[in-house]
Amino acid sequence: MDNAWSESEMKRERLKILLPSLREKERYVRFKVISEGPIQYSDLEAAVWNLFLDFYGELGVSELSLWLIKNLWDEKNQTGVVRCNNKSVQKVVAGLGVVSRLGDTRVIFKILKISGTIKGLKLK
């Protein structure tokens, strides 16, 4: 087909960087998981996504711009960061409050900080 691009062409293809005023404003929510025992990132990811999809539905979650940031998960301190847009911070925090189990482990989410940048979360 004429419009079928080769792999090398596809790799070169990139979106232009949006103007700051056109970009979605992001918020980062840093949380701590208080639990009966240590928990794995995979359990956290599955539980959070399932809960949000159950609670807000697919359309609702699409409006949150929700993303769990894997490389900011601190297994030792059981802290993590979730990203969302600035208009849905309250929805995301409320949703995290509804998570009561990660697998078979009972948990409580404690919100540590909400910031517009990862740097603002003061991660060490």
Partner 1 sequence: MNCFDLHVHSAFSGGESSLEELAETAKRLGYKGVCFVFYYQDDKQMDILLAEIERIKKDIKIETYLGFEARDLKELNFLAKKRKSFDILLVRGGDLELNRAACETPEVDILTHPEYQRTDSGLDHVCMKFAAKNNVAIEMNFGEILTSNKATRAKILHNIGHNIRLAKKYHAPIILCSGAISHWELRDPECSISMATQLGLDLNEAKKAISELPEKIIEKIKERKKKKWIMPGVRVK
| Number of shown-chain residues binding partner 1 (CB under 8 A) | 18
Which CB contacts under 8 angstroms, 24+ apart, belong to 88-93? 88/63, 88/64, 89/27, 89/29, 89/114, 91/56, 91/60, 91/64, 92/29, 92/64, 92/66, 93/29
Question: Does the protein bind partner 1 through residue 68 (CB under 8 A)?
Answer: no
Question: Does the protein bind partner 1 through residue 123 (CB under 8 A)?
Answer: no
Question: Does the protein bind partner 1 through residue 107 (CB under 8 A)?
Answer: yes
Contact 30, 6 (CB under 8 A): no
CA torsion through residues 7, 12, 18, 24, sign: positive
Question: Does the protein bind partner 1 through residue 54 (CB under 8 A)?
Answer: yes
Question: Does the protein bind partner 1 through residue 83 (CB under 8 A)?
Answer: no
Question: Does the protein bind partner 1 through residue 34 (CB under 8 A)?
Answer: yes
Question: Does the protein bind partner 1 through residue 33 (CB under 8 A)?
Answer: no
Choose the binding region for partner 1 from 12-20, 61-69, 70-78, 109-117 (rule: CB under 8 A).
109-117
Under DSSP, is residue 104 helix (H, G, I), strand (E, B) or coil? coil
Question: Does the protein bind partner 1 through residue 46 (CB under 8 A)?
Answer: no
The helix (run of H) or strand (run of E) holding residue 81 is: strand 79-85
The residue (of 73 and 102) whose beta carbon lies closer to partner 1 is 102
Chain residues that interact with partner 1, rule: CB under 8 A: 34, 36, 54, 89-91, 93-94, 96-98, 100, 106-111
